[in-house]
Amino acid sequence: MKKFLIILILLAGLTEPFAQSKTCKRIGLMNPTVKNLEKVLYFIHKDLIHADSFKIIGVLSKAQQESFKHSYEFAAKHTKDHISFEVIQNEVPIDSLFCNNQCSQEFLKIFNETDALLFFGGDDIPPRIYGEKTFITTEMIPKEQNWEISFLYHLTGGAQNADYSPLIERRPDYLILGICLGMQEINVAAGGTLYQDIPFQIYNQTNFQEITAAPLDNQHKNFWRKSDNTLDELSGLTFHHVKILSDGPLNFAGINQAPYGVSVHHQAVKDLGKNYKISATSMDGKVIEGIYNTKYPNVYAIQFHTDVTALYDDGSKFNIAPDKVFELDETSKLFHIEFWKNFSSRLNGEK
């Protein structure tokens, strides 16, 4: 009996360090709409984003709280998913985005309390922020969302101030992923600029009929529903091949280097921000589809949408034109799965 008790004590001593080795990953989510919360939970529950356990922290400003009341209600109904919110109390004037400001200490707090940040899609960044006049096709994000760009500047720095020491210097492996608007915010925060209208500025197209007549690989947003008011049953998504460059974070071994990606944007990166390189383009090379930070290995972004959950469901089909139903091919599906597998590896410190 004494020998048996000794074995139990030894086992207890072994299991305690093992329990302590389990980690909880804290993912900060900008623009935490119900839809965006559902996306993150989908990837976690499907084990496409993997860790021992998770906390999801929706980040918003005090001025945005009323707009996110449904997100609070959603979190209250999903208590087992450990969703909380961090509310930034102060506002950032548009001329104070790229310097220490009223929100600097709050940004530091969020940085210290998270392991990763996700910046998903949305409307357009005010061109004034990157020094351009506004196109008539630009549909700006609410002013209450401008703080996201300042937060990114605080995190990674930019060309606006060469002497600024970004927060990420304290944790160089900190993970930041931007998708669509998120990529544009990351670039502008670092001092980059945008094309405000791809059809006009890149392809010299002035009407919807010209856009929809172009090859699918040159269409970056589905304009069919705007070309005719009888086509509202069509998907708002379009699909085109993405050219993956060999020296960036999207080059997955043994995976298709020109997968189909979901495209829903009419703006794109023009001049790269400080410390960024291109990781992917459109097939004609005219539109930047991915960027990454050359100094901080876990800061990267894509213009296409790996966050569309239907892509991971068997049999999903999309009516993208009057005569075309699209279904993602298997090699492109593998790329999307590998994308989130790679994100998980970075989240868990394996990259």
> What would the pLDDT profile of 177-227 be if each residue is shown by its tens digit?
999 999 999 999 999 999 999 999 999 999 999 999 999 999 999 999 888
Does the model's pTM come out above 0.75? yes
How confident is the model at residue 269, as a pLDDT?
98
Q: How far apart are CA 328 and CA 53, in angstroms?
A: 30
> What would the pLDDT profile of 245-295 be if each residue is shown by its tens digit?
998 999 998 888 899 999 999 999 999 999 999 999 999 999 999 999 999
How confident is the model at residue 247, as a pLDDT?
87
> What would the pLDDT profile of 89-104 be if each residue is shown by its tens digit?
999 999 999 999 999 9
The residue length of the chain stands at 351
pLDDT at 155 over 90: yes
Give the start-to-end residue ranges of the domains of the chain. Answer: 23-197+264-312+333-347
Q: How far apart are CA 181 and CA 171, in angstroms?
A: 25
Q: How far apart are CA 207 and CA 227, in angstroms?
A: 8
C-alpha distances out from residue 147 to 99, 166, 197, 284, 293, Å: 12, 16, 23, 34, 21
Class of 23-197+264-312+333-347 in CATH: alpha beta
Q: How far apart are CA 91 and CA 191, in angstroms?
A: 21
pLDDT at 12 over 70: no
pLDDT at 37 over 70: yes
